Amino acid sequence: MNKTLSNFILSAVIGLIFINCANRGTPDGGPKDVTPPSIIKSEPENYSTNFTGSEIKVYFDEYIKIRDIQKQLIISPPMKTQPDIKPLGGASKYITIKINDTLQPNTTYAFNFGNSITDNNESNPYPYYRYVLSTGDYIDSLSVNGNIVDALKKQPETFVNVALYEVDSTFTDSIIYKETPKYITNTLDSLTTFSIENLKAGTYMLMALKDGNGDNKFQQKTDQIAFYKSFIEVPTDSSYTLRLFSENLNFKATRPRLLSGEKIAFGYEGSYENMAIKMLSEIPSEFEYRITKDSKTDSLNYWYKPRLEVDSLIFKVSKNDFEKDFTVRISEQKRDSILIETSPSGTIDYDETFNISSNTPLVRFDDSKISLMDKDSTVVDFTSSFDTITNTYALNFKKTEENKYNIQILPEAFVDFFDDTNDTLNYSINTRKASDFGYARFTLVNAKYPLIVQLTDNKGEVKAEESISEEGFLDFLNLIPAIYSIRIIHDANGNKKYDTGNYLKKIQPEKVSHFQNIEIRADWGIQETLQFK
């Protein structure tokens, strides 16, 4: 065979090999793995009794990893010392649970892993795995079921703890602030229903907690709470609905501090209404003071004059059953200068007031030094009102569509607490065309009055609100085009505001009803019938 023929045959053979390899080895991706891992065995076996050990192992048919274990894992009853769970940050074919707590005798424990266990490659979860053991000779098998709703919003929060406190000789209402519950479960990230399982028969207090810091104890400042109106008896066939709400904070004054010359900030938690600030130090006969609400922080500003040559001042802060004395260190600082602020800017609604406020307390207002004219230079009459605590003058005047209003404030129209005055100020605001707005008319059927009807955006923020105390039509005029949710508060006490609940006072939040969304279009109106059950 000559050399040329040999080379040809060799090239052909090599080509066929490459073609064959290419045909057999061309990847097409294949079907995605959607199968979750499977458990091969547990040591000890799941639902074991007479448990005396300190370690549990659960074996899988493939490598798994654990994610978000701090949020997903719920142990019932809770342990004072959390167990060590492995693997963390890596992959393994088994889970190790190292128990660091002394287990109670004759008690059934459940480890609820939620969706924290996934395979290593595709993160397919092993859903809602529960490992159950008993330190006694039987597994408790009773359960309590129900659902979580939000007292005010359409949808409740996710990852809500639902718990049972045993009602025995040691039970008090304050237990939720001090002790972890007897039994606990969690709604996780997609459920609004709950099931507390492996319970003993007994009397319990049923509650839910959106736990802000993960300690399974109620903290008014950070947590939402729900509680059933009465104790429940287990076993039970009932399904329980819990309404989750945020309590109004109990009043508490925080340490006051000097912010600037003759200005002391008194911080607080809760509501400042009826909060009293009394000077206890000796003061001269010409002493004066004013109190205003800070617009950005939860504090009241205490302004005084004349300047006192002292190192400190003593105050008493009180409200209801709260009373405390505070000492404020005094130093020489520069006083705040008057600064006028107004709202709104740009566009004003037909029924909106033009608000004028100052960073220092206003004590005099000369309305003759304010001129208000429309786009045709026609003088527009106005009236004013003053809110001393917010330190705001509200100018109210009749507005017409597609108009422009010019407001001029001449010098010395406003005089503040320290006898400072304003300079010349000019503002311009506009109204829109009537055709830019829409309206809605509601007919309420089978309603029990009084009610508060709110139109909210998709975040639950109130955009329009009306109170109604008797049967009839309810109109919302001059609505900005948008999609609104309809929320109705059953105003049980008729105070024209939503009242939340309180656990210690055993007050449930006011009932709230939600209806279908409505779309408001420009220059268009809709009529809706709201049917109550």
Structure tokens at 100: 């660091």
Among 432, 462, 486, the domain-final residue is: 432
What would the mean pLDDT of 306-329 be, rounded to a whole number?
Answer: 97
Residue 14: which pLDDT band, with cuts at 50, 70 and 90? very low
**CA separation for the pair 226, 206 (Å, rounded):** 9
What contacts 315, CB < 8 A, 6 or more positions away? 256, 264, 266, 277, 278, 279, 280, 302, 325, 326, 328
Q: For residue 54, give the nearest of 106, 113, 117, 96 by alpha carbon.
A: 96
What would the mean pLDDT of 412-432 be, rounded to a whole number?
Answer: 97
Q: What is the pLDDT of residue 171?
A: 96
% of residues, the chain, pLDDT over 70: 94
**CA separation for the pair 17, 25 (Å, rounded):** 12
Among 186, 215, 244, the domain-final residue is: 244
Span of 83-92, 274-283, 301-310 with lowest mean pLDDT: 83-92
Residue 115: which pLDDT band, with cuts at 50, 70 and 90? confident
* Percent of the chain that is helix, strand, coil (3-state, to 5): 5, 45, 50
Among 134, 158, 176, the domain-final residue is: 134
Residue 33 lies in a domain: no
Same domain, 147 and 239: yes
**pLDDT, tens digit, 9 for 90 and up, residues 383-419:** 999 999 999 999 999 999 999 999 999 999 999 999 9
Q: What is the pLDDT of residue 286?
A: 96
Q: What is the pTM (predicted TM-score) of this model?
A: 0.84
User: How many structural domains compose the chain?
Assistant: 5
Residue 150: domain span? 142-244
Same domain, 147 and 238: yes
Residue 110 lies in a domain: yes
Q: What CATH number does the domain containing 126 carry?
A: 2.60.40.1220
**pLDDT at 26 exceeding the cut of 90:** no
Residue 29: which pLDDT band, with cuts at 50, 70 and 90? low
Structure tokens at 456: 């909210």
**CA separation for the pair 37, 61 (Å, rounded):** 6
Same domain, 446 and 505: yes
**pLDDT, tens digit, 9 for 90 and up, residues 200-253:** 999 999 999 998 887 889 999 999 999 999 999 999 999 999 999 999 999 999
Q: What is the pLDDT of residue 31?
A: 67
Q: For residue 159, give the nearest of 221, 73, 238 by alpha carbon.
A: 73
**pLDDT, tens digit, 9 for 90 and up, residues 277-301:** 999 999 999 999 999 999 999 999 9
Q: For residue 356, give the nearest of 373, 379, 338 by alpha carbon.
A: 338
CA distance readout (Å), 207 to 156, 183, 224? 15, 11, 11
What would the mean pLDDT of 183-207 be, rounded to a whole number?
Answer: 91
